[in-house]
Amino acid sequence: MTRQPAIARRAEQLLGTAVVSTAPVAGGDVATATKLRLNDGSMALMKTMPRPPEGFFAAEARGLRWLAEPGTALVPEVLAAEQDCLIIRWVEPGRPSTEAAEAFGRALAGLHRAGADGFGAEQDGFIGRLPMPNRSAPTWAEFYAVRRLLPYLKLAHDRGAVEYDEAAAIESLIGRLTALLPEEPPARLHGDLWNGNVLWDREGGAWLIDPAAYGGHREVDLAMMALFGLPHLDRVIGAYQDVNPLAAGWESRVALHQLFPLLVHAAMFGGGYGARAAEAARRYL
Protein backbone atom coordinates (compact mmCIF):
# COMPACT_ATOMS: atom_id res chain seq x y z
CA MET A 1 0.00 0.00 0.00
CA THR A 2 1.24 3.51 -0.83
CA ARG A 3 -0.20 6.75 0.50
CA GLN A 4 -2.47 9.09 -1.44
CA PRO A 5 -1.89 12.40 0.39
CA ALA A 6 -5.25 14.05 -0.32
CA ILE A 7 -7.27 10.95 0.61
CA ALA A 8 -5.16 10.33 3.69
CA ARG A 9 -5.43 13.92 4.93
CA ARG A 10 -9.21 13.97 4.56
CA ALA A 11 -9.56 10.66 6.40
CA GLU A 12 -7.29 11.88 9.18
CA GLN A 13 -9.43 15.00 9.60
CA LEU A 14 -12.55 12.90 10.05
CA LEU A 15 -11.15 10.00 12.05
CA GLY A 16 -8.70 11.87 14.24
CA THR A 17 -5.99 9.27 13.68
CA ALA A 18 -3.08 8.91 11.29
CA VAL A 19 -3.46 7.07 8.00
CA VAL A 20 -0.35 4.99 7.40
CA SER A 21 -1.11 3.92 3.83
CA THR A 22 -3.84 3.78 1.20
CA ALA A 23 -4.67 1.48 -1.71
CA PRO A 24 -7.33 1.63 -4.44
CA VAL A 25 -10.11 -0.96 -4.28
CA ALA A 26 -11.52 -2.27 -7.55
CA GLY A 27 -15.18 -2.89 -8.27
CA GLY A 28 -17.02 0.33 -7.41
CA ASP A 29 -19.56 1.27 -10.07
CA VAL A 30 -20.63 4.57 -8.51
CA ALA A 31 -18.00 5.78 -6.04
CA THR A 32 -14.22 5.46 -5.85
CA ALA A 33 -13.16 3.15 -3.03
CA THR A 34 -9.87 3.34 -1.14
CA LYS A 35 -8.54 1.01 1.56
CA LEU A 36 -7.01 2.81 4.54
CA ARG A 37 -4.50 1.37 6.97
CA LEU A 38 -4.79 3.35 10.21
CA ASN A 39 -2.15 4.07 12.80
CA ASP A 40 -3.66 1.59 15.29
CA GLY A 41 -3.34 -1.25 12.77
CA SER A 42 -7.01 -1.36 11.83
CA MET A 43 -8.36 -0.98 8.31
CA ALA A 44 -11.14 1.18 6.88
CA LEU A 45 -12.78 1.76 3.51
CA MET A 46 -13.22 5.30 2.23
CA LYS A 47 -15.68 6.07 -0.57
CA THR A 48 -15.43 9.31 -2.52
CA MET A 49 -17.08 10.77 -5.60
CA PRO A 50 -16.54 13.94 -7.63
CA ARG A 51 -19.48 16.27 -6.95
CA PRO A 52 -21.79 13.75 -5.29
CA PRO A 53 -25.51 14.58 -5.16
CA GLU A 54 -26.51 16.45 -2.02
CA GLY A 55 -26.92 13.99 0.84
CA PHE A 56 -25.62 11.00 -1.13
CA PHE A 57 -23.18 9.61 1.43
CA ALA A 58 -25.39 10.64 4.34
CA ALA A 59 -28.17 8.47 2.90
CA GLU A 60 -25.86 5.48 2.65
CA ALA A 61 -24.64 5.98 6.21
CA ARG A 62 -28.21 6.30 7.44
CA GLY A 63 -29.14 3.06 5.70
CA LEU A 64 -26.17 1.16 7.11
CA ARG A 65 -26.96 2.29 10.64
CA TRP A 66 -30.64 1.42 10.26
CA LEU A 67 -29.82 -2.07 8.98
CA ALA A 68 -27.40 -2.58 11.86
CA GLU A 69 -29.94 -1.57 14.55
CA PRO A 70 -31.63 -4.97 15.07
CA GLY A 71 -28.26 -6.74 15.37
CA THR A 72 -29.36 -9.61 13.15
CA ALA A 73 -27.26 -9.02 10.02
CA LEU A 74 -23.59 -8.17 9.55
CA VAL A 75 -23.25 -4.50 8.55
CA PRO A 76 -19.97 -2.54 8.47
CA GLU A 77 -19.62 0.13 11.13
CA VAL A 78 -19.90 3.70 9.88
CA LEU A 79 -16.83 5.65 11.01
CA ALA A 80 -17.55 8.98 9.28
CA ALA A 81 -19.98 10.42 6.75
CA GLU A 82 -19.74 13.83 5.11
CA GLN A 83 -20.95 15.39 1.87
CA ASP A 84 -17.73 14.40 0.08
CA CYS A 85 -17.10 10.91 1.48
CA LEU A 86 -18.06 7.93 3.60
CA ILE A 87 -15.69 5.88 5.77
CA ILE A 88 -16.68 2.46 7.08
CA ARG A 89 -14.90 -0.35 8.87
CA TRP A 90 -12.98 -2.62 6.46
CA VAL A 91 -14.22 -6.17 5.86
CA GLU A 92 -11.62 -8.56 4.49
CA PRO A 93 -13.19 -10.30 1.46
CA GLY A 94 -13.38 -14.07 1.27
CA ARG A 95 -15.32 -16.69 -0.68
CA PRO A 96 -18.97 -17.71 -0.33
CA SER A 97 -19.72 -21.10 1.18
CA THR A 98 -22.90 -23.07 1.74
CA GLU A 99 -22.57 -22.59 5.50
CA ALA A 100 -22.14 -18.84 5.11
CA ALA A 101 -25.11 -18.73 2.74
CA GLU A 102 -27.35 -20.46 5.26
CA ALA A 103 -26.20 -18.13 8.02
CA PHE A 104 -26.91 -15.19 5.74
CA GLY A 105 -30.40 -16.49 4.98
CA ARG A 106 -31.21 -16.65 8.68
CA ALA A 107 -29.73 -13.22 9.30
CA LEU A 108 -31.68 -11.66 6.42
CA ALA A 109 -34.90 -13.23 7.70
CA GLY A 110 -34.26 -11.70 11.11
CA LEU A 111 -33.52 -8.32 9.56
CA HIS A 112 -36.77 -8.36 7.59
CA ARG A 113 -38.72 -9.39 10.68
CA ALA A 114 -37.32 -6.40 12.55
CA GLY A 115 -39.71 -4.37 10.43
CA ALA A 116 -40.14 -0.69 9.65
CA ASP A 117 -42.53 2.07 10.68
CA GLY A 118 -44.24 2.00 7.30
CA PHE A 119 -43.75 1.59 3.58
CA GLY A 120 -41.02 4.06 2.71
CA ALA A 121 -38.60 6.05 4.84
CA GLU A 122 -38.39 9.40 6.60
CA GLN A 123 -36.07 10.76 3.92
CA ASP A 124 -35.55 10.16 0.23
CA GLY A 125 -32.46 8.23 -0.77
CA PHE A 126 -30.52 7.02 -3.76
CA ILE A 127 -30.16 3.84 -5.77
CA GLY A 128 -26.92 4.00 -7.66
CA ARG A 129 -26.66 7.71 -8.43
CA LEU A 130 -30.38 8.03 -9.09
CA PRO A 131 -32.65 9.75 -6.55
CA MET A 132 -35.03 7.31 -4.85
CA PRO A 133 -38.34 8.68 -3.53
CA ASN A 134 -39.34 7.25 -0.16
CA ARG A 135 -42.45 9.21 0.87
CA SER A 136 -44.75 6.77 2.60
CA ALA A 137 -47.89 5.17 1.20
CA PRO A 138 -50.58 3.25 3.06
CA THR A 139 -50.18 -0.03 1.17
CA TRP A 140 -47.33 -1.85 -0.49
CA ALA A 141 -49.17 -1.98 -3.83
CA GLU A 142 -49.52 1.81 -3.87
CA PHE A 143 -45.95 2.41 -2.72
CA TYR A 144 -44.55 -0.01 -5.29
CA ALA A 145 -46.52 1.66 -8.05
CA VAL A 146 -45.94 5.34 -7.31
CA ARG A 147 -42.49 5.28 -5.64
CA ARG A 148 -40.75 2.40 -7.39
CA LEU A 149 -42.21 1.57 -10.81
CA LEU A 150 -43.64 4.77 -12.28
CA PRO A 151 -40.72 7.15 -11.49
CA TYR A 152 -38.12 4.88 -13.09
CA LEU A 153 -40.39 3.92 -15.97
CA LYS A 154 -40.74 7.62 -16.83
CA LEU A 155 -37.01 8.22 -16.47
CA ALA A 156 -36.09 5.19 -18.58
CA HIS A 157 -38.63 6.17 -21.24
CA ASP A 158 -37.38 9.77 -21.30
CA ARG A 159 -33.86 8.46 -21.81
CA GLY A 160 -34.93 6.23 -24.69
CA ALA A 161 -34.35 2.99 -22.81
CA VAL A 162 -38.01 1.87 -22.85
CA GLU A 163 -40.07 1.83 -26.05
CA TYR A 164 -43.67 3.06 -26.17
CA ASP A 165 -45.21 -0.44 -26.30
CA GLU A 166 -42.94 -1.61 -23.49
CA ALA A 167 -44.00 1.32 -21.32
CA ALA A 168 -47.65 0.60 -22.13
CA ALA A 169 -47.28 -2.99 -20.96
CA ILE A 170 -45.79 -1.91 -17.64
CA GLU A 171 -48.41 0.80 -17.14
CA SER A 172 -51.16 -1.75 -17.80
CA LEU A 173 -49.87 -3.77 -14.88
CA ILE A 174 -50.13 -0.92 -12.37
CA GLY A 175 -53.87 -1.27 -11.91
CA ARG A 176 -53.50 -4.98 -11.11
CA LEU A 177 -50.91 -4.64 -8.36
CA THR A 178 -53.45 -4.59 -5.54
CA ALA A 179 -54.73 -7.99 -6.61
CA LEU A 180 -51.28 -9.43 -7.32
CA LEU A 181 -49.33 -8.32 -4.25
CA PRO A 182 -50.16 -9.82 -0.85
CA GLU A 183 -50.17 -7.35 2.00
CA GLU A 184 -47.67 -7.90 4.78
CA PRO A 185 -46.28 -5.61 7.47
CA PRO A 186 -43.36 -3.56 6.11
CA ALA A 187 -40.00 -5.31 6.32
CA ARG A 188 -36.63 -3.65 6.94
CA LEU A 189 -35.14 -3.85 3.44
CA HIS A 190 -31.61 -3.47 2.16
CA GLY A 191 -33.26 -2.19 -1.01
CA ASP A 192 -30.46 -2.87 -3.53
CA LEU A 193 -29.59 -6.46 -2.71
CA TRP A 194 -27.83 -7.68 -5.83
CA ASN A 195 -24.92 -10.07 -5.41
CA GLY A 196 -22.35 -7.26 -5.49
CA ASN A 197 -23.81 -5.79 -2.32
CA VAL A 198 -23.32 -8.97 -0.30
CA LEU A 199 -19.70 -9.09 0.84
CA TRP A 200 -18.47 -12.55 1.88
CA ASP A 201 -15.67 -12.46 4.42
CA ARG A 202 -12.93 -14.94 5.36
CA GLU A 203 -14.63 -16.09 8.56
CA GLY A 204 -17.84 -17.36 6.98
CA GLY A 205 -19.86 -14.18 7.24
CA ALA A 206 -21.89 -12.26 4.66
CA TRP A 207 -22.03 -8.48 5.09
CA LEU A 208 -24.60 -6.04 3.75
CA ILE A 209 -23.04 -3.06 1.96
CA ASP A 210 -24.19 -0.17 -0.27
CA PRO A 211 -27.84 -0.15 0.84
CA ALA A 212 -30.80 1.78 -0.51
CA ALA A 213 -32.73 1.00 2.65
CA TYR A 214 -36.43 1.57 3.31
CA GLY A 215 -39.52 -0.19 4.62
CA GLY A 216 -41.08 -2.42 1.99
CA HIS A 217 -42.13 -5.90 0.97
CA ARG A 218 -39.46 -8.47 1.79
CA GLU A 219 -39.89 -10.22 -1.56
CA VAL A 220 -38.14 -7.25 -3.21
CA ASP A 221 -34.81 -8.13 -1.59
CA LEU A 222 -35.21 -11.79 -2.49
CA ALA A 223 -36.18 -11.02 -6.07
CA MET A 224 -33.13 -8.82 -6.56
CA MET A 225 -30.83 -11.55 -5.24
CA ALA A 226 -32.32 -13.92 -7.81
CA LEU A 227 -32.09 -11.40 -10.66
CA PHE A 228 -28.34 -10.98 -10.39
CA GLY A 229 -27.30 -14.46 -9.29
CA LEU A 230 -26.36 -14.51 -5.61
CA PRO A 231 -24.10 -17.53 -4.88
CA HIS A 232 -25.83 -20.45 -3.15
CA LEU A 233 -29.19 -18.71 -3.42
CA ASP A 234 -31.10 -21.94 -2.81
CA ARG A 235 -29.34 -22.34 0.54
CA VAL A 236 -30.03 -18.70 1.43
CA ILE A 237 -33.74 -19.07 0.66
CA GLY A 238 -34.02 -22.40 2.47
CA ALA A 239 -32.52 -21.00 5.65
CA TYR A 240 -34.62 -17.84 5.31
CA GLN A 241 -37.79 -19.93 5.11
CA ASP A 242 -36.87 -21.76 8.31
CA VAL A 243 -36.90 -18.46 10.20
CA ASN A 244 -39.44 -16.32 8.36
CA PRO A 245 -41.58 -18.40 5.95
CA LEU A 246 -42.67 -16.64 2.78
CA ALA A 247 -46.29 -16.21 1.75
CA ALA A 248 -47.79 -18.79 -0.58
CA GLY A 249 -47.02 -18.18 -4.24
CA TRP A 250 -43.94 -16.07 -3.62
CA GLU A 251 -42.10 -17.79 -6.48
CA SER A 252 -44.75 -16.56 -8.92
CA ARG A 253 -44.12 -12.96 -7.81
CA VAL A 254 -40.34 -12.94 -8.27
CA ALA A 255 -40.52 -11.37 -11.74
CA LEU A 256 -43.08 -8.85 -10.47
CA HIS A 257 -40.66 -7.58 -7.85
CA GLN A 258 -37.80 -7.63 -10.35
CA LEU A 259 -39.52 -4.90 -12.35
CA PHE A 260 -38.12 -2.23 -10.05
CA PRO A 261 -34.40 -3.08 -10.43
CA LEU A 262 -34.87 -3.73 -14.15
CA LEU A 263 -36.32 -0.25 -14.64
CA VAL A 264 -33.56 1.30 -12.53
CA HIS A 265 -30.97 -0.44 -14.71
CA ALA A 266 -32.79 0.64 -17.85
CA ALA A 267 -32.63 4.25 -16.66
CA MET A 268 -28.96 4.00 -15.71
CA PHE A 269 -27.52 1.74 -18.41
CA GLY A 270 -30.06 1.35 -21.21
CA GLY A 271 -29.26 -1.82 -23.11
CA GLY A 272 -31.91 -4.52 -22.99
CA TYR A 273 -33.17 -3.81 -19.48
CA GLY A 274 -36.27 -1.99 -20.69
CA ALA A 275 -37.29 -4.91 -22.87
CA ARG A 276 -36.67 -7.31 -19.97
CA ALA A 277 -38.90 -5.20 -17.72
CA ALA A 278 -41.71 -5.24 -20.28
CA GLU A 279 -41.35 -9.00 -20.71
CA ALA A 280 -41.65 -9.45 -16.95
CA ALA A 281 -44.74 -7.22 -16.81
CA ARG A 282 -46.50 -9.11 -19.61
CA ARG A 283 -46.43 -12.30 -17.54
CA TYR A 284 -49.06 -10.78 -15.27
CA LEU A 285 -51.40 -9.27 -17.86
Summarised one tens digit per residue, pLDDT across range 37-48 is: 999 999 999 999
Name every residue whose Cβ is closer than 8 Å to that of residue 5 and which is 6 or more positions away in sequence. Answer: none
Q: Do both 72 and 118 map to the same domain?
A: no
Q: Do both 82 and 104 map to the same domain?
A: no
Q: What is the pLDDT of residue 1?
A: 60
How many angstroms separate the CA atoms of 126 and 192, rounded? Answer: 10
Q: Do both 244 and 112 map to the same domain?
A: yes
Q: Do both 79 and 208 map to the same domain?
A: no
Q: Do both 102 and 84 map to the same domain?
A: no
Q: Is the dihedral of CA 186, 192, 197, 200 positive or negative?
A: positive
Task: Give me the helices (H) in the chain, please.
Answer: 5-15, 56-68, 98-114, 140-143, 150-158, 164-174, 177-180, 219-227, 233-243, 254-269, 273-282
Q: Do both 127 and 61 map to the same domain?
A: no
Look up 117 and say whether it is catalytic.
Answer: no
Determine contact, residues 120/136, Cβ cutoff 8 Å: yes
Q: Could you say which of 34, 54, 89 is where a domain stops? A: 89
Question: Which among 117, 165, 192, 201 is annotated as catalytic?
Answer: 192
What 3-state class would DSSP assign to 242? helix
* 81-108 CB burial, b ≥16 within 10 A, e <16: beeebbbbebbeeeebeeebbbbbbbbb
CATH of the domain at 64: 3.30.200.20
Regions in the chain scoring below 70 on pLDDT: 1, 28
Q: Is 86 left (phi over 0), alpha (psi -120 to 50) or beta?
A: beta
What single letter denotes the amino acid at residue 32? T
Name every residue whose Cβ is closer than 8 Å to that of residue 270 and which is 6 or more positions away in sequence. Answer: 159, 160, 161
Residue 93 DSSP class:
B
Question: Quick one: which of 204, 184, 251 has its CA closest to 107?
Answer: 204
Number of structural domains the chain divides into = 2
Q: Could you say which of 37, 57, 89 is where a domain stops? A: 89
Q: What is the pLDDT of residues 167-208, one digit of tens each?
A: 999 999 999 999 999 999 999 999 999 999 999 999 999 999
Q: What is the pLDDT of residue 50?
A: 87
Q: Do both 64 and 115 map to the same domain?
A: no
| Structural domain that includes position 78 | 5-89
Q: Do both 85 and 143 map to the same domain?
A: no
Q: What is the pLDDT of residue 8?
A: 95
What single letter denotes the amino acid at residue 54? E
* Predicted TM-score of the model (pTM): 0.95
The average confidence (pLDDT) of the chain is: 96
* 198-237 CB burial, b ≥16 within 10 A, e <16: bbbbeeebbbbbbbbbbbbbbbbbbbbbbbeebbbeebbb
Q: Do both 214 and 112 map to the same domain?
A: yes
Q: Do both 177 and 252 map to the same domain?
A: yes
